[in-house]
């Protein structure tokens, strides 16, 4: 083994841990049968935690595998968010999977493989690595969307996700081929060097558009959002929580790395694209959610809107903007996981319920649940001084500093409109007459809700160190 290969493998240790761990868990499941589900789930969580701990204590900066894989502060920050999303999803899924009778050992194995793809996406420094990571993440995601084979809705969600995902992959590949054709390179550094040294060509801009279109699908940004409401509603709720959390972290990190790295010399071109999809996502997320009656569909449109807000920071094309994106994704992750823990706890004797009207009078039947969800809804709406307010503050401030006044104003107006449907949920819980309470909440869901609620409520006191880490991550590109 050459020293260069040894160094590259050392940089990719977390990815190797997930790859080897997934194969080992698959063998445990195959040879032990369905009775191994709890064991495989627990060991999968341990593998994800071990990968995160390795990054935290032994992670270093460098380029590996001839420059196609990069490890830097930004990669480690976003990878930690991705791992947190996957870990919490697996922990929350245990009780629900047993109740709905789809507790199969394949589920945690597929989560591990999907997370491996996400880590590769975050560390991609080459178009080929980008595509490999994206497809590994996506192929596992298509399967887990339809993992509840007894549910027609779940099967439909998996099929829709697969068909539209295949379309986005084709667009991405076409964009990559155009970029390669006009620059002669697939590496991000080489593409940036080629663009800086020559005249910008129209075909290359077309390539950039197709690449960003393929990536925008993964964060469900408008106009590539059409899969999101149906897949969120149809997939099992723990799977929906996973889609809303971990893949969004990796895809947003990849968009930042592609724009701020490979296409940095033609920032004016990609800024226009990002501004458009940001405005479209914020407005659609604000207005389309108003009429929703299913809380998972509501969260789907909420997610579309929040990705639009995060892109406001990227459009600023500054260190403050990238820091805003990193902070926004962290806060969005915590708010989303806390809210989905609550949705998983919406269970009655006949099974889980998903209609917003089922929350009527919750403040009288379970005041603690109602209080925590109220905090989450206020934070998602961006009410001061909760964490969601500071997330929007950082991205809007970055936009204003870069002269994007219209974008910031549209973002604020969209936030005002979006506040309506969050406040409507709060009104139903506190002022409508109770229609019946929920069954006692599982311990792991109570833990996730409590931690998320405390983070959101006390962010103003604990945000300093987090902001310092996001600043260091953003400094990677400047």
Mean pLDDT (whole number) for 262-273:
89
Q: Could you tell me if 25 and 105 are in contact, meaning their C-beta atoms sit under 8 angstroms apart?
A: yes
Q: Taking 80 as the threshold, does the pLDDT of residue 207 lie above it?
A: yes
Mean pLDDT (whole number) for 199-206:
84
Global pTM value: 0.94
Mean pLDDT (whole number) for 356-365:
86
Q: Taking 90 as the threshold, does the pLDDT of residue 301 lie above it?
A: yes
The 3-class secondary structure across the chain, one letter per residue, is: CCHHHHHHHHHCHHHHHHHHHHHHHHHHHHHHHHHHHHHHHHHHHHHHHHHHHHHHHHCCCEEECCCCEEECHHHHHHHHHHHHHHHHHHHHHHHHHHHHCCCCCHHHHHHHHHHHHHHHHHCECEHHHHHHHHHHHHHHHHHHHCCCCCCHHHHHHHHHHHHHHHHHHHHHHHHHHHHHHHHCCCEHHHHHHHHHHCCCCHHHHHHHHHHHHHHHHHCCCCCCCCCHHHHHHHCCHHHHHHHHCHHHHHHHHHHHHHHHHHCHHHHHHHHHHHHHHHHHHHHHHHHHCCCCCEHHHHHHHHHHHHHHHHHHHHHCCCHHHHHHHHHHHHHHHHHHHHHHHHHHCCEECCEECCEHHHHCCHHHHCHHHHHHHHHHHHHHHCCCCCHHHHHHHHHHHHHHHCCCHHHHHHHHHHHHHHHHHHHHHHHHHHHCCCCCCCCCCCHHHHHHHHHHHHHHHHHHHHHHHHHHHHHHHHHHHC
To the nearest whole percent, how much of the chain has pLDDT over 70? Answer: 100
Mean pLDDT (whole number) for 143-150:
85
- For the ranges 218-232, 349-363, 389-403, 463-477, the one whose mean pLDDT is highest: 389-403
Confidence (pLDDT) at 123: 93
Confidence (pLDDT) at 185: 87
Confidence (pLDDT) at 414: 94
Q: Taking 80 as the threshold, does the pLDDT of residue 97 lie above it?
A: no
| Long-range contacts from 351-354, C-beta under 8 angstroms, 24+ separation | 351/99, 351/100, 352/96, 352/99, 352/100, 352/237, 354/233, 354/237, 354/294, 354/295, 354/296
Q: Could you tell me if 304 and 392 are in contact, meaning their C-beta atoms sit under 8 angstroms apart?
A: no
């Amino acid at each position: 083994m050459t020293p260069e290969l040894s160094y590259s493998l050392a940089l990719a240790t977390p990815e190797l841990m997930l790859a080897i761990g997934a194969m080992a868990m698959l063998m445990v499941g195959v040879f032990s049968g369905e009775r191994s589900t709890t064991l495989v789930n627990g060991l999968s969580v341990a593998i994800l935690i071990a990968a995160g701990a390795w990054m935290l204590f032994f992670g270093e900066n460098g380029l590996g595998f001839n420059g196609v894989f990069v490890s830097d502060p930004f990669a480690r920050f976003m990878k930690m968010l991705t791992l947190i999303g996957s870990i919490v999803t697996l922990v929350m899924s245990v009780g629900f999977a047993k109740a709905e009778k789809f507790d199969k050992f394949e589920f945690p194995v597929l989560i591990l493989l999907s997370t491996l793809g996400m880590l590769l996406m975050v560390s991609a420094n080459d178009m080929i690595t980008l595509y490999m990571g994206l497809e590994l993440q996506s192929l596992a995601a298509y399967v887990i969307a339809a993992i509840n084979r007894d549910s027609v809705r779940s099967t439909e969600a998996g099929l829709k996700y697969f068909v539209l995902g295949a379309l986005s992959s084709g667009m991405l590949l076409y964009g990559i081929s155009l970029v390669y054709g006009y620059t002669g390179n697939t590496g991000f550094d080489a593409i940036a060097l080629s663009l800086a040294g020559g005249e910008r060509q129209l075909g290359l801009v077309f390539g950039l558009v197709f690449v960003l279109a393929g990536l925008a699908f993964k964060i469900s940004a408008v106009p590539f959002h059409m899969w999101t409401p149906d897949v969120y509603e149809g997939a099992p709720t723990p799977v929906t929580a996973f889609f809303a959390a971990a893949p969004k972290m990796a895809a947003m990190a990849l968009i930042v790395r592609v724009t701020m790295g490979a296409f940095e010399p033609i920032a004016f071109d990609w800024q226009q694209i990002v501004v458009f999809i940001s405005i479209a996502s914020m407005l659609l997320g604000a207005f389309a959610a108003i009429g929703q009656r299913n809380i998972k569909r509501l969260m789907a449109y909420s997610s579309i809107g929040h990705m639009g807000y995060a892109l406001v920071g990227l459009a600023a094309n500054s260190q403050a903007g990238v820091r805003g994106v990193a902070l926004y994704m962290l806060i969005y992750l915590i708010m989303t996981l806390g809210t989905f823990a609550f949705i998983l706890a919406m269970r009655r004797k006949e099974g889980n319920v998903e209609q917003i009207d089922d929350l009527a009078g919750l403040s009288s039947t379970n005041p603690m649940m109602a209080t925590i969800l109220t905090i989450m809804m206020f934070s998602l709406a961006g009410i001061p001084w909760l964490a969601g307010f500071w997330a929007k503050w950082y991205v809007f401030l970055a936009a204003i500093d870069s002269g994007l006044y219209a974008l910031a104003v549209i973002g604020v107006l969209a936030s005002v409109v979006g506040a309506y449907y969050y406040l409507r949920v709060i009104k139903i819980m506190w002022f409508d007459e109770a229609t019946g309470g929920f069954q006692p909440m599982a311990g792991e869901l109570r833990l996730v809700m409590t931690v998320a609620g405390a983070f959101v409520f006390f962010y103003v006191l604990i945000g300093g160190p987090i902001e310092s880490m996001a600043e260091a991550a953003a400094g990677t590109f400047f």
